[in-house]
Amino acid sequence: MTGIIVMKTQGAGMPAPEHETVDPAKVVSGGPVNTTTWNHWTGENDRLYCGIWECEPGKVAMTYEEWEFCHFIEGEAVLTSDEGESWTLKAGDGFIIPAGFKGTWETVKKIRKHYVILLPQA
């Protein structure tokens, strides 16, 4: 690859959306929790993913085996670790969720974010 990858947030140039409903067993409150993903690029032997993700309000339990960089385009969420540390994140915020993080993700206002995910080596 020698060019750049433009991640459009709307209109022409966006990949087809992938709609999902979070596994009900992971939903802590709200729900069903619906998400939409526009995966713009996959590389590094299917270990690196980049795109845009959107989530409706609700609270879900999560366990990260991957590293993820997020940048909120819109919305608000509260991430809370199993140890009780909490972060309120809003539009404009960027953050990294490290592999091994366990806790909850509560979408307070509909989220739209850029993401870069690096899966662990097999």
Q: Is the pTM of this model over 0.75?
A: yes
CA distance 93 to 15: 24
Phi-psi region for residue 42, left (φ > 0), alpha (ψ -120 to 50) or beta? beta
**Tens digit of pLDDT for each residue in 74-86?**
999 999 999 999 9
Distances (CA, A) of 20 to 34, 35, 54, 82, 86: 6, 5, 10, 25, 26
**CA neighbor of 58 nearest in space, from 37, 34, 89:** 34
Q: Which two tokens stand for residue 113?
A: 């974010």
Written as six digits, the tokens of 80 are: 């809370």
Q: Domain residue spans in the chain?
A: 29-118
Q: Which two tokens stand for residue 41?
A: 């690029």
CATH topology of domain 29-118: Jelly Rolls (2.60.120)
Q: Per residue in 56-111, pLDDT tens?
A: 999 999 999 999 999 999 999 999 999 999 999 999 999 999 999 999 999 999 99
